Structure 1
Amino acid sequence: MSARILAVELRRSSAPVVGALIAALGVAGLWSVVMSNQGELWDVQWTMLAGFQRIMLVLLWPLALGSGAWQARRDRRSGMEELLGTTPLPTWRRTLPTAVALALCLILGYVVTLAAGAVRVAGRTDYLSTDWLPVTAVGALTLVAAGWLGMGIGRLVPSVYTPPVLVVAGFLVLLLPVQLSKSSEPGAISLLAPNLTTDFDEFTTIVGSVSLAQSLWFTGLAGSGLLLLMVARRRTALVAPVPALLGLVVAVPLLSAAPASGLQRDPGASAEVCTHDGGPTVCVTKAHEQGLADLVGPARRALKSLAKLPDAPTSVHEVTGDRPGPQPANQVWLHSDNYVPGRGWAAESEDALVVDILAGAGTRPCEPIAYGARAVAGAWLYGRYPAPGQTILPGEEARARDAAWRELKALPAQEQVRRIDAVREAELTCRGDLDAVLAKGAS
């Protein structure tokens, strides 16, 4: 296949239109989420951008499948099918340039979508790993597989109804694992779908063996589509499923050995980045490194407030939800949910951020979360109730919190210290009823 023939296909086939449509829908999907103030679903991390593109394949993959079938009908639409069938040129020589052109345009459309999202992600994180590369590469490969499979089916069944039927059927098939993931834990079979169906965040990545298995499966599927397109006789199309079956046989054991969700925590994103300026240590996760400078001042103010407790902590650490306890007594833990990439710490002011750090006497909340006791402890350490950022609608919870505050302040100063210290001890190990601990000073 010469470059000249490929250039002709790129000019005259529908491949560029399909690629442009994939790019337009992909970019629209990304930025419609941003316009609805939900950009944090993909714009906070490179891996999340790559993963969100894979989620959008629930729409893009069926479109590529139908577009391939439409492209395969070109000879019939132009009335050239019988004429071209009489030429001595092998079928694969005539169809391969068209297939390559479609693959290139589909990949280009996917890359354009990635580039449109990268403009936003680049300004929201300093953490750049290579985990997003295989996720993106597999996504592009799935589109090629869809396009070639559609071309193969379109040549085998050259009906005008084949493209729309494939679009609808492809969408329904991909929608099934999405619905199953809402009611149960997805399994290995759902990982055979091109689109992702599980939730993830900036500390999550796709397991490497899952990406490998998916690449083998979709390479086989693409090979089967290409064989369907290139076979000279319909009866020889019986061998076309062989590449897909081989890919499936190799992929399923790999997927079965991986976590059911196909995801794992990214140790690089959750690694600590700390201050080294001689003052009390303040650490954030690598994924939230941009927020370190804004956290240092409030964190050290919180440590000064905590110094009134016995064996007071000496450092502040941002932690993710999966970090195991118990919390070390010499550390203050601030949950990573308090940071919004691109916007900074979620507190409305620096004082409110100090209060967030002081909540629960500098501890990460335990389940079930005792919001009232944690808020009272934070307000006591801050020195004012309600403390900045602590707002609650009037009602039973507000009355209970007010009563706990009045009861605490009515005690002798030494007893107040003991009660707050007991709250901290209980939350460090996640043991005991925190409301009872605040009321009695013991778990």
Structure 2
Amino acid sequence: MTGGSGDRAAGARMARRILWTEIRRGTPPLVALFTAMAMTWMLAAHPESWAGQWTGLSTYLRVSLLILIPLQVAGGAWQIGRDRRARIEDLLSTMPRPAWQPLVAAWAAVTLAGLAGLVPPLVIAMILVGLRASHVGDGWWWPLLVGLIALPSAAALGVLLGRFVALRLVAPVAGVIVYLGLAVPVYLHETRWTGLSPVIGYAGPADVWPVGYHAWQAGWLVALGAVLLSLAARLWWTAVVPGALAAALVVAAPAGSGVGTDAAALALVCTDRTPQVCVTRVHAFLLEDIAGPVEAQLARVAGVPGAPVRAVDVLAREQDERRDDVWWISITTQAGVTGGPAHPEWLPDVRELIYDTGCPSPADPTAAQTLTTASEHLAEELTPEHEQWVGRVLAAARACDQDELRRLARS
């Protein structure tokens, strides 16, 4: 028994030594560096997608997989391809150790490098989110977990390609092909097959998925990674069980993601002054940042008959909901890392009221010009006469009355 324990300890030390050797070689450090740079760039490019939002950060990692997965595939292919070109496999076949062990060590090294590059910018982003977030959705971490599971599977695909494709440029070519393969489903209508990709093209601030859907995706990615790694190591029989599981999960693929809405995220949080500004709870951290400019615009149209008396986050709007007393405002682009509107030039503009009526744009050029003129008046201080005229234009626009708009053009 002591001898067996000693053999296992020696085997563990050997495995650690091999893994450490693989990590120190050229490819894993580069994978870690490029992954850290890519994730940092993605976070810096679109802070409005995740700043102050736990669910937003989790789903944005899934968006970022469009870049991160090709990097993992290229890293795995390059690591193994270099060994194949150097004929290290022939050398290792003469040594008393399993032939698959160095390959699995190379896969583990690339996987750990990808995770090591991803974690620092992700942790920093989580700290920044924690400082501002006003809502923590149930199960917000599920998309993040599935995204992390996707990286080992991507590295396994790279190892498989590097093992069997005798092409010096297999790494960059594989990375580009995988990028295109992941990008195409993003632009397709959702089907039962698009869920096989871990990449999310877009997710709204209040979007949530059933736990069962996340569990199915996680199981599919784990089984797929096990199959790819087994095939790369030429462990044909080992691939049977995960292959059968992967096939079963593909057959059982849900008809759609079942994406729903987090009702708690859409609860309104409002200012206690007039005119009132309300945002959804998921955007509550933005309330004081945008309230001042929005209140100023509401005050400017206070004398216009029929003008809204309060502003409400459009996320809380029911489909096709129309309320003359409400100005529906979109602030999804205003989330910033350090506070204050991220894009002041994109703040809601009260001139939108003239066009947000649910009616088609007037085909008559005179009626269309009436709307343009009324919009221009809303951009300036209104006289009592202009207030009354803009009020009549607003009423005609809401009624889709082009004849009245033409008459108002002459008034």
TM-score (norm 2): 0.72
Mapped to 2, the partners of 1:219 and 1:163 lie a distance apart of: 29
Partner of 2:268 in structure 1? 272
Identity %: 21
2:341 equivalent among 339, 344, 349: 344
Asked if structure 1 preserves the Cα contact closer than 8 Å seen for 2:27 and 2:78, the reply is yes
Change (3 A) 1:74 1:270: farther
**Equivalent residue for 1:384?**
381
- Is 1:270–1:320's contact at 8 Å kept on the other side of the alignment? yes
The one-letter code of the counterpart of 1:315 is R
Q: Provide closer, same or farther for how the CA distance between residues 138 and 60 of structure 1 changes in structure 2, counting only shifts above 3 A.
A: farther
The 5 A counterparts of 1:10-409 are 10-14=19-23, 18-32=27-41, 40=48, 45-67=56-78, 69-70=80-81, 73=84, 76-77=87-88, 80-84=91-95, 87=96, 99-115=107-123, 117-118=125-126, 126-129=134-137, 133-151=141-159, 157=164, 161=166, 164-165=169-170, 168-169=173-174, 171-179=176-184, 181-182=186-187, 184-196=188-200, 198-204=201-207, 208-228=211-231, 237=236, 240=239, 242-258=241-257, 265=261, 267-275=263-271, 277=272, 279-309=274-304, 313-320=308-315, 323-336=318-331, 339=334, 341-342=336-337, 343-344=340-341, 346-347=343-344, 356-357=349-350, 359-360=352-353, 364=356, 366=358, 368=360, 376-377=373-374, 380=377, 384=381
- Report the residue type matching 1:60 in the other structure: L
Bigger relative contact order, structure 1 or 2 (CA pairs below 8 A, ≥6 apart): 2
Q: Is the 8 A contact 1:281 1:314 kept in 2?
A: yes
Q: Is the 8 A contact 1:9 1:101 kept in 2?
A: no
- Structure 2 counterpart SS, 1:288: helix
Pair 1:19–1:308, CA change in 2 (3 A): same
Unmatched segments (≥5 aa) in structure 1:
386-408
**Alignment of 1:432 onto 2:383:** no
Cα distance between partner residues in 1 of 2:110 and 2:72: 13
Write out per-residue CA displacement over residues 321-354 of structure 1, whole angstroms, 9 at most, x where no aligned residue.
9742332233232233674545517555xxx96x
Match of 1:327, SS state, is coil
Cα distance change of structure 1 residues 284 and 8 upon mapping to structure 2, 3 Å threshold: same
1:16/1:201 CA distance change after superposition, 3 Å:
farther
Inter-CA distance 208–319: structure 2 relative to 1 (3 Å threshold): same
Do 1:26 and 1:113's aligned partners in 2 also have CA atoms closer than 8 Å?
no
Instruction: Spell out, residue by residue over 1:214-270, the C-alpha distance to the aligned partner (whole angstroms, 9 max, x if none).
Output: 2111111122134335666xxxx15625413422422453342336xxx55554544
- Structure 1 pair 55–169 and aligned structure 2 pair: CA distance change class (3 A): closer
After superposition, the Cα gap between the structure-2 partners of 1:419 and 1:40, relative to the gap in structure 1 and judged at 3 Å, is closer
Aligned to 1:395: none
Q: CA RMSD in A?
A: 4.4
Q: Cα–Cα, structure 1 residues 227 and 179, in superposed 2: closer, same or farther, change >3 Å?
A: closer
- Higher alpha-carbon deviation: 122-131 or 106-115: 122-131
Aligned partner of 2:5 in structure 1 is none
Query: Scaled by the length of structure 1, what TM-score is found?
Result: 0.68
Q: C-alpha deviations, 1:410-439, integer Å up to 9, x for none?
A: xx95x9637615515744xxx515x65544
Residue 165 and residue 338 in structure 1: after superposition, are their counterparts in 2 closer, same or farther (change >3 A)?
closer
**Contact 1:283 1:318 (8 Å CA) reproduced:** yes
Contact 2:51 2:335 in 1 (8 A): no
Please tell me whether the aligned partners of residues 214 and 251 of structure 1 are also in contact (alpha carbons under 8 angstroms): no
User: What is the CA-CA distance between 1:120 and the residue it aligns to?
Assistant: 6.2
Q: Is the 8 A contact 1:282 1:316 kept in 2?
A: yes
